[in-house]
């Protein structure tokens, strides 16, 4: 779920229309695509598998199952990607296991930086040439990775660069996890200014609607949060899954027993406008989406984030702030207002500062917590709603 945000005078990336040659032509307005096109699957990787499944694979190779845990610790805990460093595995066995369980899944083909190197957007190429992006953002107190769950997106939100390019395919579990692992390796090796560190937070707000690729995203959540050797051991409470509002999938996520945060990209409090801004609203209306979010919050005890792109003269009127405040008041909720990011060809721009301030006041009048989000990465098109896998090389 890519989120939008924008500002005047920011260079637009005009390249993305031509580089997503793998993608179908842009979908007609309002058309939703749920089923990802069938394509060849990426090679199997240990991050696709649970700990038990990895042991089974290793046993099937005629090796002791504990070797799977050794390999997993290298990948998840030591953040090793060079087989030569796996010295506790005998060399012939190491090569065999690496061939079977650690294929190279992603190749970085471009990296752009901003904020003195603290924001880094990576353009990845998968085994089949598909392109997608992740963004690492280092702050004084945390480092957040924004990851993609699909190449492209089928939800077709008209303000979003990703949505306009259509859906190419779902990412595999390991393709999602590898974005995080790559960021974790960069941090551990001190490749991001500020010295060695760790990735502490994950947001599924890159390309794609995570709940439209639910099975792989669920497995990825386990790999990201399970302790070693199962996974990277990042706290579930530091992971946010964003959605435009696939109600049955929100309900199923609530049954998983996870404590990840849910973020709902609402963008309008009324069905009339949301039907246009977020086409999935024609399937599940504002009330249904919010009811599912409140049920999720009740089950998990987690506060729901409401993401709201501030679009000049479209959804930023004081009466809509009042309407939104009435819908949200009394719930465990926080609103993130996001100044609309520029995307190529878009007719929409960010709200005027005075309208933004009035909107904040309108929500606060109902006792609703609200923050205007910092638009990190805007100049490298790494901000929400700008990820479109544009090749710059
Ligand atoms: S089209 Fe909509 S759901 Fe898909 S990435 Fe863009 S904003 Fe998110």
CA separation, residue 80 to residues 52, 70, 71, 75, 188 (Å): 21, 12, 9, 5, 10
Closest CA to 75 of 203, 191, 223: 223
Average pLDDT estimate for 30-58: 93
Q: Which protein residue's CA is at the shortest distance from atom 1 of ligand 1?
A: 163
- Residue 208 alpha carbon to ligand 1 centre in Å: 6
Query: Is 156 close to ligand 1, i.e. is its CB under 6 Å away?
Result: yes
The alpha carbon of residue 203 and the mean position of all alpha carbons in its chain are separated, in whole angstroms, by 5
Ligand 1 pocket test, pick from 159, 385, 386 with the greatest ligand atom count within 8 Å of Cβ, gives 385
Supply the pLDDT for residue 327: 98
Exposure string for 121-154, b = 16+ CB within 10 A, e = fewer? bbbbbbbeebbbbbbbbbeeeebbbbbbbbbbbb
Q: What percent of the chain has pLDDT over 70?
A: 88
Q: Which of 21-35, 146-160, 274-288 has the highest mean pLDDT?
A: 274-288
Asked if residue 299 lies in contact with residue 339, where contact means CB atoms within 8 angstroms, the answer is no
Please give the number of the atom of ligand 1 that sits closest to the Cα of 208: 5
Alpha-carbon distances, residue 1 vs 10, 119, 147, 153, 242 (angstroms): 22, 19, 10, 8, 6
Which long-range contacts does 347-354 make (Cβ < 8 Å, 24+ apart)?
A: 348/6, 348/159, 348/311, 348/312, 348/314, 349/6, 349/8, 349/311, 349/312, 350/5, 350/6, 350/7, 350/8, 350/310, 350/311, 350/312, 351/310, 351/311, 351/312, 351/313, 351/316, 352/312, 352/316
Q: Read off the tokens for 326.
A: 């009435």
Average pLDDT over residues 61-81: 96
Segment 292-309 mean pLDDT: 97
On whether the 16-23+104-380 domain is CATH 3.20.20.70, my answer is yes
User: Which residue has better confidence, 278 or 163?
Assistant: 278
Q: Whose CA is nearest to atom 2 of ligand 1?
A: 157
- pLDDT at position 296: 98
Per-residue pLDDT tens digits for 318-345: 999 999 999 999 999 999 999 987 676 7
Average of per-residue pLDDT values in the chain: 89
- The tally of CA atoms less than 13 A away on the side-chain side of residue 384 is 25
Mark whether 251 is an active-site residue: no
Question: Residue 332 Cα, ligand 1 centroid: separation in angstroms?
Answer: 24
Q: Assess whether the C-beta atom of 161 lies below 6 angstroms from ligand 1.
A: no
Please pick, among 22, 133, 178, 209, the residue that the annotation labels catalytic. 133
Q: Which residue ranges make up each domain of the chain?
A: 16-23+104-380, 46-101
Task: Please calculate the CA angle 78-141-265 and round it to the nearest 5 degrees.
Answer: 95
CB 343 near ligand 1, within 6 Å: no
pLDDT at 22: 47
Distance CA 358, CA 276 (A): 24
Give the CATH architecture of domain 46-101: Orthogonal Bundle (1.10)
* Ligand 1 contact via 205 beta carbon (within 6 Å): no
- Furthest C-alpha separation in the chain: 68
DSSP code of 10?
P
Q: Considering the entire predicted model, what is its pTM?
A: 0.91
Q: What is the pLDDT of residue 11?
A: 24
The position carrying tokens 């990042």 is 234
Structure-token pair, residue 358 = 């009035």
Active site residue 288: no
> Is any atom of ligand 1 closer than 6 Å to the C-beta of 33?
no
CA 161 / ligand 1 centre spacing (Å): 8
Q: How far is CA 222 from CA 141, 176, 219, 287, in A?
A: 24, 11, 5, 30
Tokens encoding 196: 């060695």
């Amino acid at each position: 779920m890519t989120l939008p945000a924008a500002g005047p005078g920011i260079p637009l990336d005009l390249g993305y229309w031509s580089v997503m040659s793998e993608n179908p032509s842009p979908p007609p307005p309002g058309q939703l695509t749920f089923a990802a096109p069938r394509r060849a699957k990426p090679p199997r990787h240990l991050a696709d598998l649970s700990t038990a499944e990895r042991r089974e694979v290793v046993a099937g190779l005629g090796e002791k199952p504990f070797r799977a845990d050794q390999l997993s610790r290298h990948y998840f805990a030591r953040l090793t990607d060079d087989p030569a460093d796996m010295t506790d595995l005998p060399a012939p066995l190491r090569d065999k296991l690496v061939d079977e369980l650690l294929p190279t899944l992603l190749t970085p083909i471009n990296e752009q930086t901003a904020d003195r190197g603290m924001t880094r957007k990576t353009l990845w190429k998968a085994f089949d040439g598909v392109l997608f992006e992740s963004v690492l953002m280092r702050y004084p107190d945390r480092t957040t990775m924004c990851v993609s769950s699909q190449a492209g997106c089928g939800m077709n939100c008209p303000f979003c660069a990703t949505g306009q390019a259509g859906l190419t395919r779902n990412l595999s579990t390991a393709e999602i996890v590898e974005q995080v692992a790559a960021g974790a390796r960069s941090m551990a090796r001190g490749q991001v200014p500020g010295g060695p560190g760790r990735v502490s937070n994950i947001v599924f707000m890159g390309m794609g609607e995570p709940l439209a690729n639910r099975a792989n995203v669920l497995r990825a959540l386990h790999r990201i949060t399970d302790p070693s050797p199962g996974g990277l051991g990042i706290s579930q409470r530091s992971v946010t899954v964003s959605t435009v509002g696939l109600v049955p999938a929100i309900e199923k996520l609530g049954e998983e027993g996870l404590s990840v945060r849910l973020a709902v990209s609402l963008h309008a409090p009324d069905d009339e406008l949301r039907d246009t801004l977020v086409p999935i609203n024609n399937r599940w209306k504002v009330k249904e989406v919010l009811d599912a979010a409140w049920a999720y919050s009740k089950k998990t005890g987690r506060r729901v984030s409401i993401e709201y792109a501030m679009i000049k003269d479209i959804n930023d009127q004081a009466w809509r702030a009042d309407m939104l405040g009435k819908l949200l008041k009394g719930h465990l909720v926080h609103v993130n207002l996001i100044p609309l990011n520029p995307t190529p060809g878009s007719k929409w721009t960010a709200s005027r500062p005075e309208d933004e301030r009035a909107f904040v006041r309108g929500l606060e009048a109902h006792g609703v917590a609200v923050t205007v989000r910092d638009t990190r990465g805007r100049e490298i098109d790494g901000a929400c709603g700008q990820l479109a896998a544009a090749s710059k090389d």
